[in-house]
Amino acid sequence: MSGFGTVFTFTVNHQPWFASMPPPYVVAVVELDEQADLRVTATLEGGPVDEVRIGQRVAVDFVQHEDVWLPLFRPVR
């Protein structure tokens, strides 16, 4: 997989659900480049939450949480 995609939809969360994720933060549904309708839900980091847009190009990154690597996305500049 290329690791690139497009923001299909998103939400800006203002509730402090997790201590490790201070609000506001973005949860996005990203449509991957490899296949139409292939979507991943993950956090979107690396920029101001008010600049996130549907159709924005993003790239995957991974963060380790204990013994698991979790995907997150960052804007493509």
Is pLDDT at 17 greater than 90 in this prediction? Answer: no
Question: In this predicted model, what pLDDT tens digit does every residue of 27-59 receive, in sequence order?
Answer: 999 999 999 899 999 999 999 999 999 999 999
Q: Could you tell me the domains of the chain?
A: 4-75 (2.40.50)
Is pLDDT at 1 greater than 90 in this prediction? Answer: no
| DSSP, residue by residue, 39-71 | EEEEEE-SS-GGG--TT-EEEEEEEEETTEEEE
Residue 63 has phi, psi (to 5 degrees) of -125, 135
Is pLDDT at 12 greater than 90 in this prediction? Answer: yes
Mean pLDDT of the chain: 94
